[in-house]
Amino acid sequence: MIELAPSLLAADWMHLGREIENMLNHGVNLLHFDVMDAHFVPNLSFGPDLCSDVHRLFPECRLDVHLMMNNPQSYWRIFAEAGAETITLHREVLADPRTAMEALRSLGVRRGMAVKPGTPAEDLLPYLDCLDHILIMTVEPGFGGQTFMPEQMDKVRMLRDKGFTGDIAVDGGINLDTARVAVQAGANVLVMGTSYFHSDDPGRVARAVKEFK
Active site residue 171: yes
Enumerate the H helices of 30-175 as residue ranges.
Answer: 48-57, 76-81, 97-106, 153-161
Query: Active site residue: 64, 132, 167, 171, which one?
Result: 171
Q: How far is the CB of 147 from ligand DX5 (least distance, A)?
A: 8
Mask for 5-34, x = binds ligand DX5 (CB under 6 A): --x-xx---------------------x-x
Q: Supply the minimum distance, in Å, between the C-beta of residue 7 and ligand DX5.
A: 4
Phi first, then psi, for residue 99 (nearest 5°) are -65, -35
CA torsion 56→54→41→193, rounded to 10°? 150
The continuous run of DSSP H or E covering 135 comes out as strand 133-137
Question: Do the beta carbons of residue 182 and residue 153 sit within 8 Å?
Answer: yes
- Residue 90 sits in the site that holds Zn ion (CB under 5 A): no
Which of 76/99 has CB closer to ligand DX5? 76
Q: Please select the residue that binds Zn ion; options are 3, 19, 34, 132, rule is CB under 5 A.
A: 34
167 is annotated as an active-site residue: no
Nearer to ligand DX5, 38 or 126 (CB): 38
Strand order in the sheet with 167-171: 3-6, 189-192, 167-171, 133-137, 110-115, 84-90, 62-68, 30-36
Sign, CA dihedral 102-107-108-111, equals negative
Site for ligand DX5 (CB under 6 A): which residue of 17, 27, 145, 150?
Answer: 145
Judged by CB under 6 A, the residue of 48, 72, 97, 173 near ligand DX5 is: 173
| Stretch in the footprint of Zn ion (CB under 5 A) among 17-25, 43-51, 147-155, 169-177 | 169-177
CA atoms within 13 A on the CB side of 53: 8
CA 142, CA 40: separation in Å to the nearest integer?
9
Q: How far apart are CA 213 and CA 210, in angstroms?
A: 8
Q: Which amino acid is at 56?
A: R
CB nearer to Zn ion: give 83 or 112. Answer: 112
64 binds Zn ion (CB under 5 A): no
Q: How far is the CB of 166 from ligand DX5 (least distance, A)?
A: 19
Instruction: Name the site residues for Zn ion (rule: CB under 5 A).
Output: 34, 66, 171
Instruction: Name the site residues for ligand DX5 (rule: CB under 6 A).
Output: 7, 9-10, 32, 34, 66, 139, 141-142, 144-146, 171-174, 191-195
Active-site positions read: 34, 171
